């Protein structure tokens, strides 16, 4: 009997570089790691992050919601 691989907790989460790569794949080529940090920590804190230990990750659905908000405001 073949088993399907178990989903990992990181599969739906991105690190900073992963968020940037995802944004670039979605057509937002001008976004940088600094853009992600600013959206997370400065001003209105538009992008929600998750801390796992000392590391910071962004959930795919939160990044998608942020992308939609960016597109609506443009």
Nearest-angstrom CA–CA distance, 23 and 29: 7
Chain segment 41-60, per-residue pLDDT in tens: 998 889 999 998 999 999 99
Residue 59: strand, helix, or coil: strand
The dihedrals phi and psi of 53, each to the nearest 5 degrees, come to 70, -130
pLDDT tens figures, 5-44: 544 545 789 999 999 999 999 999 999 999 999 999 998 8
Q: What predicted TM-score, i.e. pTM, was given to this entire model?
A: 0.80
Beta bridge partners of 13: 59
């Amino acid at each position: 009997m073949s088993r399907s691989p178990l989903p990992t907790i990181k599969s739906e989460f991105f690190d900073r570089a992963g968020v940037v790569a995802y944004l670039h794949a979605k057509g937002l080529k001008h976004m940088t790691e600094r853009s992600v940090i600013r959206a997370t920590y400065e001003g209105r804190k538009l992008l929600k992050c998750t801390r796992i230990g000392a590391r910071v990750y962004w959930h795919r659905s939160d990044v998608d919601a942020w992308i939609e908000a960016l597109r609506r405001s443009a």
